Amino acid sequence: MRGLLVVLALVMGSAQAQVPALLTPTPLGTILSVFSYLNTEKKKIYYARVESQGPTFEQARINGFRLAVEQAIGSLILSESESQGARLRRDQIISYSAGMVDRFEIVERVDTGRGWKLVMEVWVTHSAIANRLLNDGVTDRDINGDRLGARVESLLHERQSGDQVVAAVARDYATRAYDIELRPARVEFDAQRQVQITVPFMIDMNYAYAVALYESMNRTGQAPLECSSVWDRIRYDGRETPKCQARKNNQYHFLISMKPADRWQFWNGRVTFDDPSKLRIFAQVVAAPLALSVTLLDTSGQIVARACQDLAPYTAQIVTYNQQINTMIVQQGRGVQGEARFNFRQDHAQITRLGAQQARVMSQNQCRP
């Protein structure tokens, strides 16, 4: 059994008022104060004064960066545990925050003998504008290595922790991604009067799983959609400009269509990335072979017959990944129909024992007819 718990915590200051000092310690250190303001370019900047510690000077500095980003921008905390029987196989806490260190100053540094303690002033921005900001510290004459290094490190940490968020949801794909609806069985005869029982089924992505998948992609999205306006997208003959097409070719897209059970209309979402990592993480679990195990039981719950149905032809209609256009598409709420068949020959006695039917999605190597 695997469980996922997602808690979103936001600690943000307004542009007009300073947030009261936050003195609650964390494993990374302590936030002394945090507030936000708009700079002359109308860009929102978050300022945090932190006290951090670590076994080395570099680790104490990194811990201060992460503490400031999580407190200023807000973080998504994902707690994932997996157990098998009575044993806990994995217990993991994933923290994700979409922020980047813009600049910093070390106010105080202390070598405690067992590590380092730092007091830092850190300015943080949202990473949606990170690509432009990465070039701020570079001129023809010099490179501000400390500042640029802090930006790169915080961005890499964001990408890696974002990958972990998507991977945590992807791990549940084989066991929680699909709902199976079994229809009433049909009894048919072939030309040799052999009895065949056909169990129609409908498979669809579970709505709650689709929401979790979209949320994991949306929270970790990295880039605005290029060429989204009409004027930016077309030229005089109505086609996209070569420049626009080139920019789009360097982006990766996640599209999803979902329908809650109590509504008739579909909801569509889109997330854009500037690297393929998260789409590949999910594409890998989708590519793993799944089977639908359909079981016929007697009136006492004993197994009479079992069939294993390859699910690839059905799931391929729900999740598609077009590498030519760098796009993954998920369609939840439409359902795909299929059939599982059982040949009982002329064994009437077995047929009279039937009392129930069950279905379960599992990996193909686990399914045993």
User: What residue spans define the domains of the chain?
Assistant: 2-170, 178-366
pTM: 0.68
Q: What is the pLDDT of residue 20?
A: 39
Q: What's the pLDDT score for residue 195? A: 82
> Are the CB atoms for 94 and 8 separated by under 8 Å?
no
For 131, 250, 255, 368, the CA distances from 227, given in Å and listed in that order, are 17, 12, 17, 50
Angle at 282 between CA 154 and CA 99, to 5 degrees: 20
pLDDT of residue 86: 53
Give residue 320's pLDDT.
Answer: 93
Rounded Cα–Cα distance for residues 369 and 357 (Å) = 14
The confidence score (pLDDT) of residue 75 equals: 63
Q: Are strands 319-322 and 252-258 parallel, antiparallel or unpaired?
A: unpaired
Assess contact for 13 and 45: CB atoms under 8 A.
Answer: no
Q: Do 251 and 272 contact (CB within 8 A), yes or no?
A: yes
Q: Which of 5, 33, 9, 4 is nearest to 20 (CA)?
A: 33
Which stretches of the chain score pLDDT less than 70?
A: 1-28, 37-43, 75-98, 127-155, 222-241, 243, 245-248, 346
pLDDT value at position 15? 32
Rounded-to-integer distance, Cα 124 and Cα 127, Å? 9
Largest CA distance in the chain: 89
